[in-house]
Amino acid sequence: MARSKNKGSQEVNAGSMADIAFLLLIFFLVTTQIATNKGLTLLLPPKQEEDEPIEIKQQERNLFKIQINSQDRLLVEDEPLDDVSQIRGMVYDFVLNFGKPSDAKKGKNKVSDNDVYASLPASMKSYIAQNLGSSESSDGPGSAIISLKADRGSSYDIFISILDELNAAYNRIYGERVGLTDEEFRKLNRNDPRQKEMYDRARNGIPKAISIAEPSTVGG
């Protein structure tokens, strides 16, 4: 009798071992953040050469001006604006204005504004025909430029929120062009040839022309 009792208590009870390990596992799962490289990308203009002409005069109507002063107040197209989220729609309308689309082939893919217009889906064409096409706004997506000028004293916070809005507008245009939502467009995987083709088709002829202008030091 005594012997059998001894025999029963010989091995350590390992039943709760799994629970302990689980606890540790869940702790690590919850606490670790796998660092993701997410953010708003931007391509800076090339270095300015001394002997080059500093500025090529742009037509006023092809420039969508956003200015931020040191009090974080906005001036969009020379009019004050309080609500940052309105910029998205304004930029969308501005880029797709097609006020005077040209046949001049631009960019490395040699696409003209009229080619771009022909490639748009019917829903966008009818929207443009009904609401846009003003001669006061941009000639076409090939020549539309967004100019963002932030004062040295303005906050990074508002700069990012505006840059976010600008990207949202462009992603919406690109997405709608190939029949996706802006979110689906953003998540296209460019390593997959089929999705890459879609990405290229969406961006073809509509450059993301966001220019961060040099701030003036006065008025801070």
Partner 1 sequence: MSKFKKKSESSQDIPTAALPDIIFMLLFFFMVTTVLRETELMVEQDIPRAEQLVKLEKKKLVTYLYVGKPKDKSFGEVELIQANDAFISIDGIVNWVNQEKSKLSEVERDQITVSLKVDDDTKMGIIVDIQTELREANARKIMYAAPTKAKDN
Pick from 159, 203, 207, 208: which binds partner 1 (CB under 8 A)?
159
Number of residues forming the site for partner 1 (CB under 8 A): 51
User: What is the Cα gyration radius of the chain?
Assistant: 27
Q: How far is the CB of 133 from partner 1 (least distance, A)?
A: 27
CB-based burial label for 31 (10 Å; 0-12, 13-18, 19+)? exposed
What DSSP line would sit under 52-115, residue for residue? S-S-PPPPGGGEEEEEE-TT--EEETTEEE--TTHHHHHHHHHHT--SS-----BTTTTB-HHH
Pick from 10, 13, 37, 71: which binds partner 1 (CB under 8 A)?
37
User: Residue 160, interface with partner 1 (CB under 8 A)?
Assistant: yes
Cα gap 34→14, rounded to integer Å: 32
Pick from 8, 45, 53, 193: which binds partner 1 (CB under 8 A)?
45
Cα gap 168→163, rounded to integer Å: 8
Task: Single out the segment in contact with partner 1 by CB under 8 A; choices: 55-63, 73-81, 105-113, 152-160.
Answer: 152-160
Binding site for partner 1 (CB under 8 A): 14-15, 17-18, 20-22, 24-25, 28-29, 32, 34-48, 68, 150-157, 159-161, 163-164, 167-168, 171, 182, 186, 190-191, 212, 214-215
